[in-house]
Amino acid sequence: MAFTGKAKVAGVMGWPIAHSKSPQLHGYWLKQYGIDGAYVPFAVHPDRVEQAIRALPALGLRGANVTVPFKEKALAIAEIVTPTARRIGAANTLTVLEDGRIHADNTDAFGFTQNLAAGAPDWQAAAAPAVVIGAGGAARSVLVALRDAGVPVIRLINRTTERAAALADELGPGIEVVNWSERSQALAGAGLLVNTTTLGMAGHPPLELALEVLPTTALVTDIVYTPLETPLLAGARARGLAVVDGLGMLLHQGRPGFARWFGVEPEVTPALRARLLGGS
Ligand code: ATR
């Protein structure tokens, strides 16, 4: 890799950061579009996150993604915050403006919506209720995305019901909290089922859910993408339901940042997916 002195530089801050797929994602696009630029992983200690974010303009960086556990802190530090990031309560994409101010956005909701649009173009948001499992940070982005897409009712289910109730209070109306023990029955009549928990991820237990009452027209998606086909998606596929895996959400959430930092609207292609999955 050879850069000139004019190279545009961005990166991703997290702790830990070694697992992040963002350098591969943006690195692929930089090469694909022949851009004189770099995207670097930054292992930022939590004690230093404010220093690191404030250093972006001083270093002449175009911006950065921020990941766990810095998303809320990034929102608090930024001078300009998009309404979406404000509603989600977290930022994942920081851009240094020409005047040196830091602009914070959250592109996870966009990534979720775009992934569904690409993987299940026939899915109709307004047609039926959606069921969302989980009430952590990922659930917040999914709820904002579904509300904006026009889903009429969202049934929100979390092991710790209080967390779901707090989210429904904050992001409702239209979000109904259902108890964890009633999660299988809550699938009746739903048009979409989303897992936003870590259940089903490699090294974690699967999500125990009886899919029998889910209508055969429903779409099932998981934000977990390691493995790409989680036990939930495998079960849904076995029943003949449409499924969308979680990798696309990661790929699509990267698009707005790349466009702002490097000036090219990047595309999510099968070749990109294959690369991120370790193929050619
Ligand atoms: P993130 O911000 O990435 O979404 P998080 O805030 O830790 O992560 O949320 C993880 C989600 O997975 C939560 O909804 C959590 O449920 P609780 O709020 O009850 O903790 C859910 N989760 C994790 N392990 C779980 C398990 N073994 N059974 C049920 N839900 C689980």
Residue nearest to atom 30 of ligand 1 (CA): 159
pTM: 0.97
Report the pLDDT averaged over residues 140-162: 97
Whether the CB of 189 sits within 6 Å of ligand 1: no
For residue 280, pLDDT beyond 90: no
Q: Cα separations (Å) of 173 from 54, 87, 186, 249? A: 36, 14, 18, 25
> 198: CA distance to ligand 1 center in Å?
6
Any ligand 1 atom below 6 A from CB of 201 = no
CB 106 within 8 A of CB 141: yes
Task: Indicate the average pLDDT of the chain.
Answer: 97
Contact 62, 262 (CB under 8 A): yes
**Rounded to an integer, what is the distance from CA 57 to the centroid of its chain?**
25
Q: Determine the 3-state secondary structure of 218 from DSSP.
A: coil
> Quick one: pLDDT band at residue 51, thresholds 50, 70, 90?
very high
269 alpha carbon to ligand 1 midpoint, in Å? 31
pLDDT band at 279 (very low <50, low <70, confident <90, very high): low
159 lines ligand 1 (CB under 6 A): yes
Average pLDDT on 95-106 reads 98
Q: What is the mean pLDDT of residues 80-99?
A: 98
- Considering the chain, what percentage of its residues have pLDDT values greater than 70? 99
Predicted confidence at residue 172, as pLDDT, reads: 84
43 touches 16 (CB < 8 A):
yes
User: Which atom of ligand 1 lies nearest, measured to the CA of 140?
Assistant: 4
**106: Cβ–Cβ under 8 A, 6 or more apart, which residues?**
71, 82, 84, 85, 88, 90, 91, 92, 93, 141
The candidate with the shortest Cα–Cα distance to 249, out of 6, 25, 36, is 25
Amino acid at 24: Q
Ligand 1 contact, 109 CB (< 6 A): no
